[in-house]
Amino acid sequence: MSRIGKQQISIPESVMVSVVGGVLTVKGPLGELARPVHSLVSVSVADGIAKVTPERKNNKLAHSLWGTYASHLLNMIEGVTKGFQKKLIIEGVGFRAEMSGDNIKFSLGFSHPINVSIPKELKVTIEKNVLTIAGIDKEAVGLFASQVVSLKRPEPYKGKGIRYEGQVVRRKQGKKTVG
């Protein structure tokens, strides 16, 4: 049994949730999100409470998707009310990022700059060496942040690269000098 799926999801007054034609739509003060619902899961909305239930009781996939869609609904509600953000720290001598229109231009120690286009639904700001990615879709924010981090992962000797705020980079000891 899904612990997350069993719980009833309370819908804030400023949010409207509807399921029409197999598409779950959540509207709120920050925007609107939509997601198709799998046929093995049903979402019902009544009196400010949403409930996710599996269509088939003995189906393993239905039970797997039950909690997943409950989490998706919770994330969609939080996204249209508060939004999500990730902060990335660029660390290293000469490593920097700058905005150029709808692109970010990274200088990461390679022989050439790297240009990354920003998805339309996200808002990116750069202050000194901190890149802030914000948006209402948790999946889009996390995906774009992981793509940026994968450009230059932090290395274990000096810690140079792009890392998440709060991420601890395990450091290795360098070569010892013979004396």
Task: Kindly list the domain boundaries of the chain, sorted by start residue.
Answer: 3-81, 84-164
CA nearest neighbour of 12 among 65, 56, 77, 104: 77
Q: How far apart are CA 93 and CA 83, in angstroms?
A: 33
Same CATH topology for 3-81 and 84-164: the answer is yes
CATH class held by domain 84-164:
alpha beta
Report the interhelical angle of 60-81 vs 138-149 (nearest 10°): 90
Percent of the chain with pLDDT over 70: 98
Coil/strand/helix, residue 110: coil
- 3-81, CATH topology level: Outer Surface Protein A; domain 3 (3.90.930)
pTM to 2 decimal places: 0.89
Model pLDDT for residues 78-99, shown as the tens digit of each residue: 999 999 999 999 998 989 999 9
Q: Which residues contact 162 (CB under 8 A, 6 or more apart)?
A: 88, 89, 90, 91, 95, 108, 131, 148, 149, 151, 152, 153, 154
Model pLDDT for residues 109-136, shown as the tens digit of each residue: 899 999 999 999 999 999 989 999 999 9
